[in-house]
Copies of this chain bind each other. A is one copy, B any other.
Amino acid sequence: MSNSSAAPADKPKGVVGSLAHGLNIIMAFSKAHPRMTLSQVSEKTGMDRAGARRYLLTLVHLGFVVQDGRLFQLTPKVLELGYSYLSSVPLTDKAQYYLDRIRDQTGFPVALGVRDELYVVHLASANSDEFNSPGLTIGRRFPIAYASAGRCILAMMEKAEREALLKDIKLEPMSDMSVATISALNKQLQIIRKQGYALVDQEMQTGIRSLAVPVFNARGQIAASFNTFTFSNLVPAAQLISDALPVMQAAAEELQATLI
């Protein structure tokens, strides 16, 4: 889902290229490729073998990667990098209480999402037994236009910022039901602004329906969103809205009141 790279196209003067290469190697590991040989790393990152080897051994030296025979894998030290971010965002700590409360009151899984360029990222979540889903993993990224968390943030953004973002979005429909044009997306964003929440029906994945509500900061700017999802064949949209929406909106209002 993620596939972002640490190497944007235009490289301003003074940029340290080797830092991008090292970060790309970390991001090359995934659920599908938790342990890789040097050749695999070289192939996945587009680096030559000598370069990939140098960065891998640097990461081994720094404790972020371990080598076991021909295989390399990440160590838990990598989490420290993400923890630097999580611990610097007071929102995360504060939100957990509300996430747990929403999950307990609705029985649905729920996550807190923030925007990261053209993606939305989960900062925290409360998972539900009923819907034991791997989807609510912290740090996972989803396209901003198709995830309800992202679409909600997009809709609530200031107009100028949204219009600038929309110019960069390349819509890649993820299911038969996905909006496929910017004008169709814009129409959805208008509906979201009008009704105050985002309902995304099987546009990310067939069979999955999700709902997101905005969390604003004290200046009235969109800061994050709460989002939940259900299987569309089990929970009709009307029931998702009647069960989860008031609970999520109440939590969002309370969380907002604590934000500076």
A54–B12 CA distance with the chains assembled, in angstroms:
11
Contact B88 A8 (CB under 8 A): no
Proximity bits, A1-40, B CB within 8 Å = 1, else 0? 0101011100110111011111100111111011100000
Residue numbers in B under 8 Å from A18 (CB-CB): 16, 18-19
Contact with B along A105-128 (1 / 0, CB 8 A): 000000000111100010100010
The reply on A234 being an interface residue by CB < 8 A is: no
Interface stretch (choices A132-140, A189-197, A241-249): A132-140
Asked if A59 lies at the interface with its beta carbon under 8 angstroms from chain B, I say yes
Give the residues from 56 to 83 in chain A that come closer than 8 angstroms, CB to CB, to chain B: 57-59, 61-64, 73-83
Check if A163 is an interface residue, CB within 8 A of chain B.
Answer: no
Q: A80-B2, A127-B100 are in contact. Are A16 and B55 (CB under 8 A)?
A: yes
Stretch at the interface among A89-97, A154-162, A199-207: A89-97
> Is there an interface contact between B33 and A88, defined as CB atoms closer than 8 Å?
yes
Q: How far is the CA of A132 from the CA of B101 in the complex (A)?
A: 12
In the complex, what residue of chain B is closest to A117 when comparing beta carbons? B63
Number of interface residues of A (CB under 8 A): 73
Of all chain B residues, the one with the shortest Cβ separation from A28 is: B84
- Whether, in the assembled complex, A141 has its beta carbon less than 8 Å from a beta carbon of chain B, the answer is yes
Task: Known A-B contacts: A20-B62, A23-B81, A87-B140. Give 18 more (CB < 8 A).
Answer: A4-B77, A6-B63, A12-B57, A15-B61, A16-B18, A19-B21, A23-B62, A27-B81, A33-B88, A34-B90, A73-B88, A74-B88, A76-B114, A78-B81, A78-B82, A86-B138, A96-B132, A100-B129
In the complex, 27 of the A-B residue pairs with CB atoms within 8 angstroms, ordered by the A residue number, are: A2-B83, A7-B62, A12-B57, A15-B54, A16-B22, A16-B55, A19-B58, A19-B62, A23-B62, A23-B64, A23-B81, A27-B80, A28-B84, A29-B84, A30-B88, A34-B89, A74-B85, A74-B88, A76-B121, A77-B116, A78-B85, A80-B141, A82-B83, A92-B137, A93-B134, A100-B127, A138-B138
A residues near B (Cβ < 8 Å) are 2, 4, 6-8, 11-12, 14-16, 18-23, 26-31, 33-35, 54-55, 57-59, 61-64, 73-90, 92-93, 96-97, 100-101, 114-117, 121, 123, 127, 129, 132, 134, 137-141
